Amino acid sequence: MPEPEPGLEPAGFTVDVDTADRIHFLDWGDPGRPDGGPGILLIHGLAGTAWVWAPIGRRIGGLRRTVAMDLRGHGLSDAPTHGYDPATLAADAIAVAEGSGLLDPDVDRVVLAGHGFGAIVAAWTAAVLGARCAGLVLVDGGWEDLRSSTGMEPDEFLRTIEEPPEVMRSLRAYLADRRAYDPSTWDADQDRAARAAVVELPAGHVASSTRPHALAGAVGAMFDYRPAETLAVVRAPIVALMAADDEDESRGAALEQLRDALGAAGAAAIAVERFPGLGHNLMRYRPDAVAAAILGVDRRAG
């Protein structure tokens, strides 16, 4: 892996999609593909923004064209009341890939990488792209049927992800909470990603920058995801990066069941890399490993 380039800053752009909404993305520029691989589209997780991918963009943006999108309802993308369904979310991602130039008549394949909910969107997108998807990286998500694995309904799940009031009482409290996850990995990129995920209100407290209706729509989409059905039609190499936040081992079991189901169906095998002792945000805790997986996925045997 190359060393991260601290001065490598992305530019921000928007693309108009078929639903007349604007989707924002960060573009680390075109380095000319010195390693010969396809471009890369990065998709953040629930209530996140494209900035969570900054540690990865700094590492791979000098080797390949690298773009990170804000999902609709998140970050600087529009937040309509519609469009939080698999087909529209995948269409948004393809519009970013095409609008940014990752996919064009001369460059017809792209690597997709998603984190958490973004891994689900990446899987839906890979299924639609077919042969135009060069590889799919599922960063701690994208292999579970949440209704089955959690035993919850979307409304119940939404309540479990609410932030405690003491965390949201001020921007300072919020940033301190995020820093405390792992002070050794807190830096300017983590600070910027954390700030992008909230808005500071006149009263002094903060709220998620993801509008409630968009969050509910995204969670509803997550609960509609059927990994075995979606990934069975993906022919590109797939890598799953699994963090250790799996106390009852249900997530690991779900991944192994999915691998068995795909194997029985003759679908693409999923290569798995595990990260014991780490939390969900692997881009923060193991950026070199995540970057290496993304750069290498298209070179794996199908």
The CATH code of the domain that includes 270 is 3.40.50.1820
Q: Please tell me the predicted confidence (pLDDT) of residue 20.
A: 93
In a domain, residue 166? The reply is no
Residues of the chain with pLDDT under 70: 33, 245-247, 301-302
In a domain, residue 93? The reply is yes
Backbone angles phi, psi at 157, to 5 degrees: -60, -40
Q: Please tell me the predicted confidence (pLDDT) of residue 301.
A: 60
In a domain, residue 145? The reply is yes
Q: Please tell me the predicted confidence (pLDDT) of residue 245.
A: 62
The total of other beta-carbon atoms located within 10 Å of residue 170's CB is 15
Residue with tokens 């990066």: 241
Number of domains in the chain: 1
- What is d(CA 112, CA 119) in angstroms, rounded to the nearest whole number? 9
Q: Which domain holds residue 145?
A: 11-149+209-299
Q: Please tell me the predicted confidence (pLDDT) of residue 36.
A: 79
In a domain, residue 181? The reply is no
In a domain, residue 186? The reply is no
Decide: helix, strand or coil at residue 139: strand
In a domain, residue 194? The reply is no
Q: Please tell me the predicted confidence (pLDDT) of residue 2.
A: 77
Task: Tell me the whole-structure pTM to 2 decimals.
Answer: 0.97
In a domain, residue 169? The reply is no
Measured CA to CA in angstroms, residue 158 lies from 153, 220, 286, 287 at distances of 9, 10, 28, 28
Encode pLDDT of 109-135 as tens digits.
999 999 999 999 999 999 999 999 999
In a domain, residue 183? The reply is no
Q: Please tell me the predicted confidence (pLDDT) of residue 6.
A: 86
